[in-house]
Each structure stands twice: as structure tokens, then as C-alpha cells.
Amino acid sequence: MSALRSRIENLIPELIEIRHDLHAHPELGYDENRTSGVVCDQLKSAGIEYVPGLAKGTGVLGFIPATTNPESARTVALRADMDALPILEKTGKPYSSTNDGVMHACGHDGHTTVLLGTAKALTLVEERPNNVLMLFQPAEEGGAGGEAMCKDGALAGKHFPKADVIYGLHGFPSAALGEVYTRVGPLMASASEFIVEITGKGCHAAFPHFGNDPIVIMSHVIVALQSIVSRKVDPLASVVVTVGSVHSGFAHNVIPDRATMHGTLRTLDDTMTGWAKAQIDQVVHGICAAYGATASVEWVGWYPVTSNDAGATATFRRIAAEVIGETAVREQEVPVMGAEDFSFYGRHVPACFFFLGLMPSSSQTYPLLHADTFDFNDDAIANGVELMVNLALRG
């Protein structure tokens, strides 16, 4: 282990350069053409076999074969996401985004770098008991790139041996550097996006009685949606309904015909998602009917619950305890209501997802994910690579 750690440490300066380059050139989901090119170039230079062009064009699947007993070897899959977010960066770093309005505010540049470092480190290991798949996927931020990778057979044996297990990580700013957090069962919520359009009747703002104001009706809908959570869900269950975007009108003195809102539904039980969707539909249509308006509800995407397999998680805990110390392997006591499309992989093979600590010991706080000041901590790269390499070899 000490020899492997030394090899990883020698890679760190190069990996930091790669991470800064990726950070300076962020790309949105399914448009990660440059990022995908960097991944392919790095794999090629390391002599690693890969398949490009997956998941609508930018996904990359790398493969490192077992060297000991290859005929009976298990296949361990490791995953990194590559896309950025439509956010204007305000970190002030010398490697800040050169693509105005787009930034790596969720640390996917770090995730991609960790997996590239893992690939490079594995090529330096002569005795590899497992085959290793490396999934560089696009469009985690709402585009379900993980699902697209699955549909293209990344885990199913279409390109390389079929995966037996998969591991993934996410940088976590509220966790201390050097620590990891995970749990068996639900770790992150399911997510469903909805779009509601309410149609009333427009008129002059001074004569509201001649129209039917969709903005007022939508206001009642938004408030009523919260009663689903507060009055129809078991207080010990977890459901979130949030309206994050509202659009209507074009002038201060005109009541418009239509109002549109976008929102998200989160649950920790996929079976509850259908029930909650039906409740939202009922509230929207019922209130609109009461006010003499019409409405449409469109559901435009779904991420399942990210649920960790007990066996894969036990393996992760055992290996992580040996690599970073037992006290650094922490229990994520409650699930997180954020969502992850790593969840799609767990519907095909046993999966374990874990949080990698980013917060330095000298800090009390760290910029949150999706904040315009967030930046992945370079000091966490070595921890991530060492964990992933050991999972690849012993997972």
C-alpha cells in the first residue's frame, strides 16, 4: 500500500494541472466535447483502451484488464461525471472559467480528475486481480447521463466485460478533508421535475373583473402544494415539493393569459413518487377548476433514489478503513435530499456511492455545491484516487 501511495503522490502535480484545465473550460450536459477529448487523450497516452462517443456523443468508457486469472476475474466499475452548471463563476481563481456563465460549481472537474488519476495509477500496478471499467459520463446535472450510459451498454458487457459492482464518489464541502461518508440503503433522494402552465384570461390591470388572473391562481397553487408535505405525508417520511421558477406577464399594468412554474419533487422512496405526483396533479387541477381556469402538468425527467447495496457498502467500508483509517470512515446518518443519476447504475448492478470530504481542517466553512464561489479542493484528489484504486483492485 505504501508503494502504491507513493506512486499516486507522484501523479498529483500532473492531476492538479488537469483539474485546473478542466475547471477553466467547463461545458454543459451533452456538450462536453472538449472535456471528453481531454479524457480520451489522457487514456490514450496511458495506453488504456477506451470507447468514445457514448451517451449521446460525449461519454467515454475506459477499460483496464485483469492481469491475474483474467478468465475468472471480477469486473469493478468506477464512475465520474463531467458536466458543469450554468452559473457565472466568482471564485477569483487564476484558473476560473473562461466560458462566461458556465462553471464547475459541483466539482465534476475534480471527479473526472480523480478517475483519470485512478486510471493512470492502475497502469503502474503489475498484478491486477480485477477488470476495471471507468465510466466518464455526461449530463449528471439534470440530463440523466448515467441512464444514457446504461442504455449504451456501459455496464452490460456490450463493449467490455459485464460489471459486477460499481462505485462512485462526490466531493462534499461540509465533510472534513480526509473523511468519507456513506450509508446502506437510501443515500440521496429521487428527483422529478414538473412544469405547470395555468391558462386564465388576460385583461387590463385596472379592470381585473374582466379577466381571470393566472398569477393569483398560481399563487394559491404554490401555497397549496406545501399542504401535501405538511398534511398528507407521514411526518417521519421525507418528501420535498419546491417551486423554483415562476414566469408570467410582460407589463406591470396587464394581467396576462398564462402563468408557468417549474418545480421539483423529491422523495426517499420510489414507490411514493407516483403517489406524490398524483397529489400534485390533483391540487393543480382542482384549484384551477375552482377559479375557472385550466391547467396542464408536465413531468419532464426522473432520477431514482440513490440506494447503496449492503454488500458493496460493506466492501467499501472495509477497504476505506484500511486506506484512510477506520475513524475517517463515517456514517451518513440521514439521507441527503439532493439527487444523483448514479442512481441509475444501482438499478443494474450492486452499487455504492460515497461522499469525499473537501473542507480543510483550518476552515470552519466551505462554499456549498452549486455556489458561484465553489471550487473542488485539490488536496482531496490524492484521497479520492487512493480510494478508487483500492476499490478497483479489491472491490
pLDDT at position 2: 79
Q: Are strands 75-81 and 165-176 parallel, antiparallel or unpaired?
A: parallel
Q: What is the C-alpha to C-alpha distance for residues 73 and 65, in angstroms, rounded to an integer?
A: 9
Q: What is the C-alpha to C-alpha distance for residues 349 and 356, in angstroms, rounded to an integer?
A: 22
pLDDT at position 25: 98
Q: How far is C-alpha 235 from the chain's CA centre?
A: 27
pLDDT at position 264: 97
CB 200, CB 114: distance < 8 Å? no
pLDDT at position 292: 98
Beta bridge mates, 266: 191, 240
pTM here is 0.94
Query: Within a 10 A sphere around the Cβ of 214, how many other Cβ atoms?
Result: 28
Residue 106: which H helix or E strand, with range?
none
Q: Could you report the average pLDDT of every consecutive run of 10 residues in the chain (395 residues)?
A: 88 98 98 98 98 98 96 96 98 97 98 98 96 98 97 98 98 97 98 98 98 98 96 92 97 98 95 94 98 97 96 98 97 96 98 98 92 98 98 96
- The beta strands (E) that lie in the chain are given as 49-54, 59-64, 75-81, 131-137, 165-176, 180-182, 185-199, 203-204, 239-248, 254-255, 258-267, 294-303, 306-308, 329-331, 336-339, 351-359
Q: What is the C-alpha to C-alpha distance for residues 369 and 375, in angstroms, rounded to an integer?
A: 9
pLDDT at position 354: 98
Amino acid found at 122: L
Q: What is the C-alpha to C-alpha distance for residues 283 and 293, in angstroms, rounded to an integer?
A: 13
pLDDT at position 3: 86
Q: What is the C-alpha to C-alpha distance for residues 24 and 9, in angstroms, rounded to an integer?
A: 23
Please give the angle made by the CA atoms of 43, 1 and 379, to the nearest 5 degrees.
65
Q: How far is C-alpha 23 from the chain's CA centre?
A: 17
